[in-house]
Amino acid sequence: MRSSIYLLFILFILFISSSCNQKEKAVQKQLIPIIKQLSDLATVEYVVTKIIKANDDKTWYKIGDRKILMSCKASLIAGIDLSKINEENIQVHRGEITMILPQAKLLYINIRPEDIKTEYEDVSFFRTPYNNAERDALAAQGESQIKNSADSLGILQAAEVNASLVISNFLKKAGYENINIRFDREKTQGLQ
């Protein structure tokens, strides 16, 4: 009777340890980078700067000011999605080629950590200095403002002009002389 209890106990311990290992493996599996295939042709980069300005003086019971001024540099990259070009968008006739390209879109925004600098910080005696989490949250707001104003900077028009040039040059290298490139104006696209 006692030996069977010992046996059950050992089996229980083995079961618990094996299930723990499985959990560890599952966690490790999640940590492998996810690879995604793309077909983006990046044709223009806008390098922009912005001042991030905040004053934490709106809470009534906090005594004293807490101001911060940060500068940030961002790269906005725009281009076209080549996977949207299919047979229907291309017409070839006796050395003349007509191609309808998809509309340009903002592909991504890149703000390198070293391009965000704290230029000025003024914290009164009764307040705590800005910590990293707060600085990141302010910079994230700046990132969002840059992303939202990308359209007004004219980056998409510049991306389409350059896309047209890149494709034309490539088609010239491929032997075409008469090249007509237009853009599909049916859909509007943006950074998701």
Partner 1 sequence: MTRTIKKYLVIVAILLGILFLLRKIDWLPSFGNFFRSEPLTIDNTPILIKEINNLAQLITITSFDEVVMDSIKKSKKLPGTIFPVPASKIVLIAKGQVMAGVDLKKLNNEDVMIKNDSISILFPPPQILNTILNPSDFETFDETGVWSSEEVNQVKVRIREKIIQRALEQNLLFKASERCKIIMENFLRNIGFTRIQITFKDQLP
Among positions 63-82, residues that touch partner 1 (CB under 8 A) are 70, 73, 77, 79, 82
Structure tokens belonging to residue 24: 């560890």
Site for partner 1, residues 25 to 64, rule: CB under 8 A: 31-54, 56, 58-59, 61-62
Structure tokens belonging to residue 10: 């050992």
Residue 44 CA to residue 106 CA, distance in Å, equals: 10
Residue type, 161: V
With respect to partner 1, which residue has the nearer C-beta, 2 or 93? 93
151 binds partner 1 per the rule CB under 8 A: no
Please, are residues 66 and 58 in contact by the beta-carbon 8 Å criterion?
Answer: no
Residue 87 CA to residue 64 CA, distance in Å, equals: 66
For the CB of residue 85, give the shortest distance to partner 1 in the complex, in Å.
7
184 binds partner 1 per the rule CB under 8 A: no
With respect to partner 1, which residue has the nearer C-beta, 42 or 184? 42
For the CB of residue 187, give the shortest distance to partner 1 in the complex, in Å.
20
Q: Which residues pair with 119 in a beta bridge?
A: none
Residue 70 CA to residue 135 CA, distance in Å, equals: 9
Binding mask 8-27 for partner 1 (x = CB under 8 A): --------------------
